[in-house]
A and B are shown apart, each in its own frame.
Chain A
Amino acid sequence: MALYSEKVMDHFRNPRNVGAMENADGVGQVGNAKCGDIMKIYLKIEEDVITDVKFETFGCGSAIASSSMATELIKGKPIGEAMELTNRAVAEALDGLPPHKMHCSVLAEEAIKAAIKDYYDRRGIGYDTAQFHDCASCGHCCGKH
């Protein structure tokens, strides 16, 4: 289908890092089933480095592909780098998303941030709350339902 780039279709058909994770150090879930997409990211973190990452997604093709690409982009990276991952970078790595599917990349960014925040909370590590905006930049479905 021409709706998506080949890269999107590849990550959709063969998602990387898909599945649950036992004993994750941080778990983040964003989205809403009413809106049609939920992403869950599991992180394994050792000495500030994301040594493993898994995802589960309920959603459309681009939601699954965005989760898959986002996990690839942060695997093996220090937390600081993962925190800097933007939705735009996820979309660009997928060779672009249709305009009405950009919110899928936003969800991916936010799921990762939510998982990192959960890690900080579990470990009692202090952070600047401004780093973790709550589903603000997407405008997809927030407040609608």
Chain B
Amino acid sequence: MKIYADHAATTKISEAAAAAMLYHMNETYGNPSSLHTEGQRAAEVLADARGRIARLLGAEPREIIFTSGGSEADNQAILSAARLGERQGRKHIVSTAFEHHAVLHTLQALEKQGFEVTLLDVHENGLITPEEVAAAIRPDTCLVTVMFANNEIGTVQPIAEIGEVCRARGVLFHTDAVQAAGHLPIDVIAQNVDLLSLSAHKFHGPRGVGVLYAKKNIPLTSLIEGGAQERGRRAGTENLPAIVGMAVALEEACTDLAGKRERLTALRDRLIRGLSAIPHSVLNGDPVRRLPGNVHFCFEGIEGESLLLLLDDRGIAASSGSACTSGSLDPSHVLLAIGRPHEIAHGSLRLTLSDDNTEEEVDYLIAAVTDVVAYLRSISPVWRELVSGKQKFILN
């Protein structure tokens, strides 16, 4: 059996999106900036895609900026808010300890430029509260950036309430919605969002394309100079096939969103129940306030990379936050942020499902993970010390 359970990393492109892309690659080859008919036809297709995406987010078309993906959108949102704040003498930013590196590394770069950054503790359940955001906002705060849903442990923040706090205090609010878009309802007005990033390949669209939503009248700093595309906010000839593919994929993802969520949540909870039966394991992230397809566990006494390789041998594509899979010495900053000790964080496993996955696949996943964890424990000197009582279990 082949099971793709790494949908938080990327998704398979939808057939409709791929077909639309191929069609426009062949048929709509004009440059939208050109005056001739071919160019204007492309400009119309571009405007149509922009309008469709705007509608799905509750935004206006001119508030949609096409980017190369979520990372670029995160960078541009944060840098724009920082430049704006700087001009007003406000150089403090509030964020969380477990943001994506596209956010954290941008914040670190700003710190070197004299900005102060407050990273909120995300607690063991991986959630922050609007009250904590309110308490962190200072008179010189220019931006609050909090991810909509975490890419590793899947926790979903109270975005609308955080947005409300920011609005009341006159502070811009950005959310990295890369994991949420196409999976959870997004309405930038109702959720009080000023800036939002999304990436097409996380909802069965093509990679290399994303969106920065920026509420009108927020001046953006261009990261790429060289042309008037995207109203001067992002130079470069538009990647029209990818943009159309993204619009098609987002429309598809948002069709019957509630029904898909319900089915996926049932699959997720079946998987969580099954894996919870493995002794000395723990579910990471809040059990309820989490993405419908996200399952994330730590297993004591084993290391994540060997777990992934053995699951791959059984046809399962999964992910881990162990140091060995990241190429660095430290395990995932997300797991450390929720208080998992290093030795536990190394034994982590992320399984992210989509609507394509079935109950039969979930049952296969449970059996395979249970089996592989037991095998790796049987050859682990750490596990031997734990069961013999020489070391104390961290996870009960």
A interface vs B, CB < 8 Å? 1, 9, 12-13, 15, 18-20, 29, 33-40, 56-61, 63-64, 100-101, 140-141, 144-145
Contact = CB atoms under 8 A, between A and B. Distances in A.
Interface of B: 301-303, 305-306, 309-310, 312-313, 322-325, 327, 329, 331, 341-343, 346, 379-384
Contacts of A140: 329
Nearest to B328: A100
A134 to B, nearest CB: 18
A2 B172 CA distance: 45
A140 B329 CA distance: 8
A140 B330 CA distance: 11
A123 to B, nearest CB: 23
Majority DSSP secondary structure for residues of B touching A: helix
A30 B383 CA distance: 15
Contact of B379 (A9, A13, A29, A56): A56
A20 B380 CA distance: 10
Contacts of B310: 13
Nearest to B322: A36
Contacts, number: 73
B342 A145 contact: yes
10 contacts: A12-B306, A20-B384, A33-B343, A56-B384, A58-B302, A58-B381, A59-B303, A61-B309, A63-B306, A141-B329
Given A33-B346, A36-B322, A64-B306, A58 B383 contact: yes
A67 B346 CA distance: 19
Contacts of A144: 329
A51 to B, nearest CB: 22
Given A36-B322, A38-B380, A100-B327, 4 more contacts: A15-B379, A36-B303, A40-B381, A57-B380
Given A58-B301, A58-B303, A1 B309 contact: yes
Contacts of B324: 36-37, 59-60, 101
A60 B301 CA distance: 12
Given A34-B342, A100-B327, A56 B305 contact: no
Contacts of B302: 58
A33 B382 contact: yes
Q: Which of B301, B306, B313, B322 has the most CB of A within 10 A?
A: B306
A1 to B, nearest CB: 6
B344 to A, nearest CB: 9
Q: Which of A58, A63, A141, A144 has the most CB of B within 10 A?
A: A58
A20 B385 CA distance: 12
A36 B309 contact: no
Contacts of B313: 13
A89 to B, nearest CB: 22
Contact of B382 (A9, A15, A38): A38
